[in-house]
Amino acid sequence: MVPRFLFDPLYEEIVTNTSDLMVYMVRHFFIELVLPLSIFVAVMLTLFVDWSWIPISSIDRERGQSLEEVKKHLFK
């Protein structure tokens, strides 16, 4: 007799039917693919997009380094 279930070691769950399997696949798709990819894209947008077109006040300029200065120090 062959057991017909799938064990999920990450969440320690047993998947026994197709609805559980769909929840398992969607959960892993978002946690393991969409979430890391969206974080990666957000970081790349922050680093590689020219944000100097956004006007900042003189108070904000005095408060600390601009994003352009941080990028220059980061890529040196």
- Torsion, CA 17, CA 22, CA 24, CA 28, rounded to 10: 160
Whether 1 is in a domain gets the answer no
Domain that holds residue 70: 6-75
Of the chain, the percentage scoring pLDDT greater than 70 comes to 95
CB 21 within 8 A of CB 13: no
What is the number of domains present in the chain?
1
Amino acid 41: pLDDT = 95
pLDDT in tens, 5-60: 777 777 777 878 888 888 888 888 888 899 999 999 999 988 888 777 777 777 77
- Is pLDDT larger for residue 36 or for residue 75? 36
Q: How far apart are CA 40 and CA 71, in angstroms?
A: 17
Report the chain's mean pLDDT, rounded to a whole number. Answer: 80
Asked whether residue 42 is assigned to any structural domain, the reply reads yes
CA distance 16 to 23: 11
Is residue 18 assigned to a domain? yes
> Is 32 inside a domain boundary?
yes
Q: Is residue 33 part of a domain?
A: yes
- CA dist., res. 62 & res. 23, Å (int): 50
* pLDDT-derived band at 1, boundaries 50, 70, 90: low
